[in-house]
Amino acid sequence: MAVSRVGVSFEPELLERFDELIGEKGYQSRSEAIRDLVRKAIMERDVEGREGEVVGTLTYIYDHHQCDVNNKLLDLQHSHYHDILFTTHVHMDHDMCLEVLIVKGEAEDVRKLSDNIRAIKGVKHGELVITRTPP
């Protein structure tokens, strides 16, 4: 594969912090780290606010003692069964549970599922991470 060389200028402090980061992450070179960051930024732009099929995860934490939260979550999951490929449930402690949904579907539907789950009383935190298969 052909590559193009480009120059990038960094302030010394920023470069020092970047070098620390790439060392922590295990990159072999600055170029490899920069390419990875650029790919990530392009993927986020392509997915953000766009339509089409996406895949991803919805991770959320909830208090299972909260009134009817389990039933509301299950009802919502069943109404979006076509967007959910897999679920996993973990008991974090006596009160809190963690669930991870592997999702695949139209971006609008997946975002709606995520928004509806995070809006349920008792859900303390949730995060949707979606992506597309790179072209």
* Domain chopping of the chain, boundaries: 12-47, 53-131
pLDDT at 132 (0 to 100): 77
Partners of residue 24 on adjacent β-strands: none
pLDDT in tens, the chain (135 residues): 788 888 989 999 999 999 999 999 999 999 999 998 888 888 777 777 667 889 999 999 999 999 899 999 999 999 999 999 999 999 999 999 999 999 999 988 999 999 999 999 999 999 999 887 665
pLDDT at 131 (0 to 100): 86
pLDDT at 52 (0 to 100): 80
CATH of region 53-131: 3.30.70.1150
pLDDT at 42 (0 to 100): 80
Neighbours of 97 (CB within 10 A): 19
Exposed / middle / buried, residue 86 (Cβ in 10 Å: 0-12, 13-18, 19+): exposed
| Phi, psi dihedral angles at 96 (to 5 degrees) | -100, 140
Cα 110 from chain centre? 12
pLDDT at 50 (0 to 100): 67
Using DSSP's 3-state secondary structure scheme, residue 81 falls into helix
Number of residues assigned to the chain: 135
